[in-house]
Amino acid sequence: MHTHNRLPRTASLRTLALAPLLLCLTGTAWGQFLGTSCSYGALGATTVTNTGNTVITGGIGVSPGSTITGFSAIDGGPGLFTGAANIGNAAAAQARLDANTAYLTLAGLPFGADLTGQDLGGMFLLPGVYHFDSSAQLTGALSLNTLGDPNARFVFQIGTTLTTSSDSLVSLLNVTPGVPCGPDAGIYWQIGSSATLGTYTDFTGSILALESITLNTGATIASGRALALTGAVTLDNNLIDASNLTGGFCIAATEGPGPGPITAVPEASTYGLIGSGLLAALAWGRRRGLKASRLLRSS
């Protein structure tokens, strides 16, 4: 992932609140196409609801709806997030507008391969634009080979629904830890209706769904976000990492078993006394726990 320096402790709360937005808008042309929606891990139109110990590295928002439930900083729920919470306000409305613009941009790209009727499971794909006339299914593992290109971009245009089976996986090949992503890097899923990630799916990339997005128990999204344009985002004990604000996928260099240099800037009202380093450690620990449980179930 890209990392950025933490702002000084003396920075004003206003500057802290604006930081994610400024980072979204300082990239190059393709990196900017997510607009302000890039700083959200979960953004819904009607509601965002959470059950269980979900951890989002990024903000949460809803518009034109006004209900977010299941997060510690909002209603005392178990969920945690590192960014701003925008509920039915102008910031959330702008993020939804920006996400809709990005959705239309993705839908209008010329595609290089038509995968209609094929299961993504078992495929090894190179950077490009892939199209499904109707629904898409992922059963098992999908491998995306970046070919070592820091500008590699994968776009999936799906006419109706995206559904993943339990324990499915989207993995990246030939990504060098510590090498920054280029301005065009990213993995984007443009969904014509709704997306459903099965239990313990390890997903990668930003989902932009015209209707709703559901993450079932233990599903994770790496290097991405859940952006639902007209419906709800429903979460259940998930991890979402939207810390790469340009939409890229690059992996930060780490030393030892720790969570690495995750330096998301916290909003003062977001999660009280829990620091971003501790939140990153919680996310790391939960990810390891989820993967361990997957291995146990498969053995």
Segments making up each domain of the chain, as ranges: 15-298
Residue (of 291, 234, 296) closest to 45 by Cα position: 234
pLDDT reported for residue 33? 79
The answer to whether the peptide bond before residue 64 is cis (omega within 30 degrees of 0) is yes
Q: With bands split at pLDDT 50, 70 and 90, how would you rate the model's confidence at 180?
A: confident
pTM score, two decimals? 0.81
Could you please report the per-residue DSSP string of 35-96? GGGGGEEEEESSEEEEES--EEESEEEESS--EEESBHHHHS-SBEESS-EEESSHHHHHHH
Do the beta carbons of residue 100 and residue 76 sit within 8 Å?
no
Residue (of 132, 125, 126, 135) closest to 111 by Cα position: 132
Residue 275 CB: number of other CB atoms within 10 A?
Answer: 11
Q: Would the pLDDT of 52 be above 90? A: yes
Which range, of 74-78, 137-141, 174-178, averages the lowest pLDDT? 174-178
pLDDT reported for residue 25? 47
Q: Would the pLDDT of 299 be above 70? A: no
Give the residue-averaged pLDDT of 257-282. Answer: 38
In order of 42, 110, 120, 243, the CA distances from 107 in angstroms are 21, 8, 19, 24
Do the beta carbons of residue 99 and residue 208 sit within 8 Å?
yes
Give the residue-averaged pLDDT of 27-35. Answer: 63
Q: With bands split at pLDDT 50, 70 and 90, how would you rate the model's confidence at 213?
A: very high
Q: Would the pLDDT of 6 be above 60? A: no
For 86, counting Cβ atoms within 10 Å of its Cβ (0-12 exposed, 13-18 middle, 19+ buried), the class is buried
pLDDT reported for residue 30? 53
pLDDT reported for residue 181? 85
Q: Would the pLDDT of 10 be above 70? A: no
pLDDT reported for residue 32? 64
Measured between its terminal Cα atoms, the distance across the chain in Å is: 31
The overall average pLDDT reported for the chain is: 81
Q: DSSP code of 223?
A: S
Q: With bands split at pLDDT 50, 70 and 90, how would you rate the model's confidence at 149?
A: very high
Q: Quick one: which H or E segment has residue 227?
A: strand 226-228
Q: With bands split at pLDDT 50, 70 and 90, how would you rate the model's confidence at 252?
A: low
At 98, give phi and psi (nearest 5°).
-65, -40
Rounded CA separation 18/267 (Å): 9
Q: Would the pLDDT of 249 be above 60? A: yes
- List, for residues 89-144, the tens digit of each pLDDT value: 999 999 999 999 999 999 999 999 999 999 999 999 999 999 999 999 999 999 99
Q: Which residue has the higher pLDDT, 257 or 160?
A: 160
For residue 221, give both structure tokens: 């999204």
pLDDT reported for residue 23? 44
Q: Would the pLDDT of 182 be above 70? A: yes
